[in-house]
Amino acid sequence: MQKRLARADVPVDMTWDLTDLFASPALWEAEFAALDAALAELEPFRGTLGGSAATLARCLDAVEALRVRLVRLETFAYLRNAQDGTDPEHQAAFARMNALVARLAASVAFVDAETAALPDGTVERFLADDPALAAHRVPLERLLETKPHRLGAETEGVLASLGEVLGAPYMTYNRSKMSDIQFAPFTDAHGVTHPNSINLYESTYESHADASVRRGAWASFSAGLKAYNNTWAATLATEVRKNVALARLRGHESTEHYLLQPHQVPHRLYADILRVIRTELAPHMRRYAKLRRRVLGLDRLLHCDIKAPLDPEFEPHIPYETACETILASLEIMGPEYLGLMRAALGRRWVDRADNVGKSSGAFCSSPWGVHPFISMTWANTTRNVFTLAHELGHAGHFGLAMKQQRYVNTRPSMPFIEAPSIMNEMLLARHILAGGGDVRTRRGVIMQLLGTYHHNFVTHLLEAELQHRVYALAEAGQAVTATLLNRTKGEVLEAFWGDAVTIDDGARMTWMRQPHYYMGLYPYTYSVGLVVATAMARRVAEEGTTAVQRWLAVLKAGGTLKPLELMQLAGIDMSTPAPIHEAVAYVGSLVDELEAAFPG
């Protein structure tokens, strides 16, 4: 194995160019101090916001300007820490940044509180009277939606002051997961001993071709989790109780209604997604599991075998430049404006693809308003890498267009839409490669990549969502959330989905311990929404061509000015019925059909 490079030794063309944010760390320092001092500029607005629409507009403009500057500073610190988290200078800047973020949050907290506390009808009248407030209409309407659920100023103040305490469950979970948990080394069938960690397990062993490595790693991984089973059940139970209590305190119909409020989607959409995908997708995924068992020659498929490769010798070596060409060709249908953005991303060092000591694992796209998106990943010449790059470029295309059209406050739509533009690009890439014909192994490889995307979003995250749904119902009914209850419920969710196609063991019952999502409200189901939209949209683009592309570009440019269902409507996808969900599930079925035919028994 090659030794990982130090960051300083990485070729420059593999790195992103952070001078687009700040030409030097010294300039970042200067702006940091300047912004810190500028926070005081908000103080004169305190107690004046009900005075006139013009005053409110000036205050909101001032807050927005501070946030734009904060995001730029924050992105620089965040990206430097992501490119090399072992550098003490990066660590220190990152920690100082977090403190400044908290100071800004404290300085602007009065703005929302005061605006929401204005007498009924005031903000509406201001909006009607003064065009200076027009840019803030969407965020203000969002704020007004929370108004019926706001508590008295004193209570809101108490809750705000307890913010860090209310975040303790996630913080505790995260700390012990990052720093404390240990996994014993394990030995495979050839007598080779391997080290184990969460990163190694997820990046290597989980999809290893050798069953003895996969299963040995799983046993060690499960034993590591077991040691924290009760502790992490207690952190999760605290999180759940907190949300149940806050939902009741704020007078919501249920905890789910409370947690869905920031998503701006009806409860019905959430319920449809959970119900339709679980029941209709299960038969297709069971067929895929049975195919897997047959091809792998196993007498039973354990939960840890679900990601085993079916054609491990077939791993085409794809250089970065080739991948870029393929992705650009697959996106040509999106037209010159979109393609121009993609060429800029790839050609002007918006992407960091180096693999060096201290580089953060995983891939992400960060899009500071007024600059341009930045993408982080590590390039290892695999097919998966090509899809990941296409995915992150989808986020870059979305926010790149939105930030050109919209002011900062109107750039970002709410959560359930966020993954649609990124998964859309994966779909366009797969359709492009499959449309080119190709030999059976290439086609199989691409279909398995696509099924990987569906598995991740429609199975892994959706079954997390189902667990959340059940746990919140139990907690609302007064049941104590314990390790026993979580393990048992997770097992029931998995067994109901997989039937006899996959053997669910004790390790599988503890997989709820792997995800931080449970500490992020009702996050897990949103992945499925994105995938449903992307599946429907990729098909419409393939069938209708330019008209569908124009609709999609309009949606991307709309940024956060519309709610998720309105964005989908604008794209021509009617999510007021479950029809697009049925359509996406049927598409997965057709992929499994082709795969079954491509692996004759």
Contact residues for Zn ion, defined by CB under 5 A:
422
Q: Which is nearer to Zn ion, 232 or 399 (by Cβ)? A: 399
Decide whether 247 or 423 has the Cβ nearer to Zn ion.
423
What is the C-alpha separation between 373 and 510, in angstroms, rounded?
37
- 465 within 8 A of 249, measured Cβ to Cβ: no
Min dist CB 33 to Zn ion, Å, is: 34
3-state SS class at 265? coil
Whole-angstrom CA distances from 315 to 304, 372, 381 are 21, 33, 9
Nearer to Zn ion, 235 or 414 (CB): 414
Closest CA relative to residue 300, chosen from 510, 460, 500: 500
Cα–Cα dist 78/75, whole Å: 5
- 515 vs 464: CA distance, rounded Å: 9
β-strands 186-187, 193-194 pairing: antiparallel
Q: Please report how close the Cβ of residue 39 comes to Zn ion at its closest, in angstroms.
A: 32
Instruction: Judge whether 358 and 9 are in contact, CB under 8 Å.
Output: no
Q: Residue 530 CB, nearest distance to Zn ion (Å)? A: 8
| Least distance (Å) between residue 394 CB and Zn ion | 7
Q: How far apart are CA 498 and CA 24, in angstroms?
A: 54
For residues 195 and 201, give the distance between their C-alpha atoms in angstroms, rounded to a whole number: 10
Decide whether 115 or 528 has the Cβ nearer to Zn ion: 528
Q: How far is the CB of 196 from Zn ion (least distance, A)?
A: 27
Nearer to Zn ion, 196 or 526 (CB): 526
Neighbours of 293 (CB within 10 A): 19
Rounded to a whole number of angstroms, the minimum distance from the CB of residue 486 to Zn ion is 27
CB of 462 to Zn ion, least distance (A): 16
Report residue 441 as tokens. 């192994």
C-alpha–C-alpha distance, residues 256 and 270, integer Å = 9
Distance CA 320, CA 409 (A): 35
Nearer of residues 196 and 422 to Zn ion, judged by Cβ: 422
Minimal distance in Å, beta carbon 418 to Zn ion?
7
CA distance 340 to 329: 12
Q: Which is nearer to Zn ion, 202 or 315 (CB)?
A: 202
Which lies closer to Zn ion via its Cβ, residue 264 or residue 422? 422
Could you list the beta-strand ranges (E) of 188-339: 193-194
133 versus 365: smaller Cβ distance to Zn ion: 365
The tokens 């250089």 sit on which residue? Answer: 319
Q: How far is the CB of 414 from Zn ion (least distance, A)?
A: 15
Nearest residue to Zn ion by CB is 422
Nearer to Zn ion, 28 or 525 (CB): 525
- Rounded to a whole number of angstroms, the minimum distance from the CB of residue 398 to Zn ion is 10
- For 482, counting Cβ atoms within 10 Å of its Cβ (0-12 exposed, 13-18 middle, 19+ buried), the class is middle
Is 487 in contact with 509 (CB distance < 8 Å)?
yes
Instruction: Report phi then psi at 19, rounded to 5.
Output: -70, -15
CB nearer to Zn ion: pick between 233 and 537? 537
Q: How many helices (H) and strands (E) does the chain have?
A: 27, 5
Strands in 374-376's sheet, in edge-to-edge order, are 351-352, 374-376, 364-366
Kindly state the smallest distance separating residue 373's Cβ from Zn ion, in Å.
12
Whole-number Å distance between alpha carbons of 509 and 239: 20
